[in-house]
A and B are shown apart, each in its own frame.
Chain A
Amino acid sequence: MDTSRRNFFKGIAVGAAATAVAPSHAATERPTGDSRQRWGMVIDLRRCIGCQACTVACGTENRTPLGSYRTVVSQYELSEGGRPRRAVLPRLCNHCEDPPCIPVCPVDATFQRADGIVLVDNTRCVGCGYCVQACPYDARFINAETGTADKCTFCAHRVDAGLLPACVETCVGGARVFGDLNDPKTAVSQLIAEHRVSRLNEQAGTEPQVRYIGLDGRLQSKVEGVPAPLRASLEEVMS
């Protein structure tokens, strides 16, 4: 074998090894975020039409398995004095200031970035489901394809690139507003300053960072009411 051919094969071997190692190395490197920022979301329910475009955009952006959702829009009919009205409630991970999903994780796979975003390192997660149980918002699930915990990331990959989360980008009525809560000039900060906002399940004491404008008190904690006649995951419907 001449020298050039040997070098060629050596190059292929080194390249293949680098390709094999690089992604796994990159995958275990945790994004830290910028501690000067604190990302949060305000959902103006007066603007939400319950179209589920956010649900679809999230699924498309993050390739969640069929029947699993990182965000959904629950819809209700609320009656007052015999007069019914429709109410919507977009739900997602609240990226709590004090997230109960983190201390229960036995392998330190779920963590909070300096900018408040709560993420799952799915190269480390063992899929024990403990964080799914600990989340007071039912915002986590076990991804059937990866066998690891899954949840809304505020589209951290997009945010780090200077983009908005997919659900915010796609919201038809502009109901979802995302931004830096530490900056008083951002739209989220101004909405919080100008409106009476409420948070879900506040008694859990987790300091959720998703706020709502126009939230009916009956939907703020565990909702008590008449369940939908058909409630099945899409996976069940399709099968």
Chain B
Amino acid sequence: MNPEVLQLTGFSQQPAWLPWAVQYFFIIGLSVGAFLITLPAYVLRWSPDQRAARAALLVALTTGLAAPVALLADLHQPDRFWHFYAFGQAGSWMAWGSFFLPAYVGLLTLYGWLALRPELAQRARDPGPVGRVAGLLAGSGVELPRARRSVGWVTAVAAALVALYTGAEVAVVAARPLWHSALLPVVYLTTGIAGGAGLALLFVGRFETPRRTLFRWLWAALALTGLTVLAWMLGVSGSGTAHALLRLATEYRPVSFGLWLLFGLLLPLVLAWFHRAPIAAGLLAISGAWMWRWEIFMAGQGIPKNDVGFYGVHLSLGPEGLLGIVGTLGLWVLIALALTALLRPTANVQG
């Protein structure tokens, strides 16, 4: 801080990207991360751990279906979403995202259906409306592993494009040095995998094998997150963005950044490494993925591009703030309840 310059009058800039944006990037990050966890068992045939893959698939599906709603809500003119398709501009990452996202969600739904239809068919034997709905969705209920693998590969491409565009559309913004880092997409991906693994730990029940699998994903993703953030701070992706991140961590938001570092990164990393407290580790990893996005998006918009100081981060209670966050969570809970109601309890799933 230069004491020779004293600001007399200043004007704060309201954030253009609201907490809805944080929710979108958080939820879609979890979905892509969790989808990747399904690949070894469902597509690559590297792992026999079907339970871990199934839990991760439930996470990927439920979050993937909820994500577009948060994205639409962040538009200040949501009823004009069709303009993306009528007037799309090839030079904008966001324009590309408007094609990548529906492709990913559509393919993910098909992939999930192919993976879960034998379960749906079994559920269809139950009397009552849930059984009837499961029967309608199951079709013949025959397992189609080759189709699942083929769709899985295409979905993996779509997931990679979603991970790329969500990271790149923020990282290309040169006007915000904090965002202008080639490592930002990497951290979005690794925190997304950590959050996805964390949420899958809550779905997997008390089985040791899938827990071990998910713990491995969790600590690997968190370790990569820590190393990438360290490289970022050391200037690997440029000195300007490193300076901005260090300033965020030490000057603008030391408490929040410290909380993320301790509870969103280090503690779940230790718990995952020692295979301890899966629920706590999972919840901490989820909150870590959210906190990282909150700090980058909301605190990032609080840093004036030209002027003095820090605008601060304000969370309103209405639909553009806390209510929006709670609403997104509520939508995810609703989708998760609907999907799990159509499937067998976790305890009955073959490992």
A106 CB contact (under 8 Å) in B12, B74, B84 = B84
User: Does residue A129 face the partner (Cβ distance < 8 Å to B)?
Assistant: yes
B-binding segment of A14-22, A177-185, A227-235: A227-235
Chain A nearest CB, measured from B1 CB (Å): 6
B-binding segment of A5-13, A37-45, A158-166, A216-224: A216-224
B3 CB contact (under 8 Å) in A80, A125, A226 = A226
User: Does residue B45 face the partner (Cβ distance < 8 Å to A)?
Assistant: no
List of B residues within 8 angstroms of A224 by Cβ:
1-2, 5, 308
| Minimal Cβ-Cβ distance residue in A for B77 | A127
Q: Contact at A204–B175, with CB atoms within 8 Å?
A: yes
User: Does residue A3 face the partner (Cβ distance < 8 Å to B)?
Assistant: no
B-binding segment of A133-141, A168-176, A190-198: A133-141
Q: Contact at A130–B77, with CB atoms within 8 Å?
A: no
Q: Which of A86-119 contact B (CB under 8 A)?
A: 86, 91, 100, 103-109
Size bracket of the A interface: 35 or more
Given contacts A133-B176, A136-B175, A137-B305, contact A126 B7 (CB under 8 A): no
Size bracket of the B interface: 35 or more
Chain A nearest CB, measured from B141 CB (Å): 41
List of B residues within 8 angstroms of A138 by Cβ:
13, 304-307
User: Does residue A79 face the partner (Cβ distance < 8 Å to B)?
Assistant: yes
| Minimal Cβ-Cβ distance residue in A for B11 | A72
Given contacts A76-B5, A127-B75, A218-B5, contact A228 B89 (CB under 8 A): no
In the bound assembly, the distance between CA atoms of A17 and B81 in angstroms comes to: 26
Q: Contact at A225–B5, with CB atoms within 8 Å?
A: yes
Given contacts A74-B10, A107-B83, contact A130 B92 (CB under 8 A): yes
Q: Contact at A133–B83, with CB atoms within 8 Å?
A: no
Mark interface residues in B59-98 (1 if CB within 8 Å of A CB, else 0). 0000000000000001111001101101111011111011
Q: Contact at B8–A76, with CB atoms within 8 Å?
A: yes
Mark interface residues in B1-24 (1 if CB within 8 Å of A CB, else 0). 111111111111110110000000
List of A residues within 8 angstroms of B84 by Cβ:
106-107, 126
User: Does residue A34 face the partner (Cβ distance < 8 Å to B)?
Assistant: no
List of A residues within 8 angstroms of B169 by Cβ:
130
| Most chain A CB atoms below 10 A, which of B2, B6, B83 | B6
Given contacts A106-B95, A225-B3, contact A74 B175 (CB under 8 A): no
Chain A nearest CB, measured from B240 CB (Å): 10
Given contacts A106-B92, A148-B76, A226-B308, contact A126 B1 (CB under 8 A): no
Q: Contact at A227–B308, with CB atoms within 8 Å?
A: yes
Which A positions have Cβ atoms within 8 angstroms of B?
Answer: 69, 72-80, 84, 86, 91, 100, 103-109, 124-130, 132-138, 140-142, 147-148, 200-201, 204, 218-219, 221-228, 231-233, 236
Q: Please list the 3 inter-chain residue pairs (A to B) with the smallest Cβ-Cβ separation, ordered nearest first.
A: A127-B76, A225-B5, A227-B309
List 18 contacting pairs A-B, 8 Å CB cutoff, sorted by A.
A74-B11, A86-B8, A104-B92, A107-B86, A128-B76, A129-B74, A130-B94, A133-B17, A133-B179, A138-B307, A141-B14, A218-B4, A225-B4, A226-B6, A226-B308, A227-B10, A227-B310, A231-B7
In the complex, given contacts A106-B84, A224-B2, what are 16 additional A-B residue pairs having Cβ atoms less than 8 angstroms apart? A77-B6, A78-B4, A104-B91, A104-B92, A124-B83, A127-B75, A129-B74, A130-B94, A136-B175, A142-B14, A222-B304, A222-B306, A224-B308, A227-B309, A228-B7, A231-B12
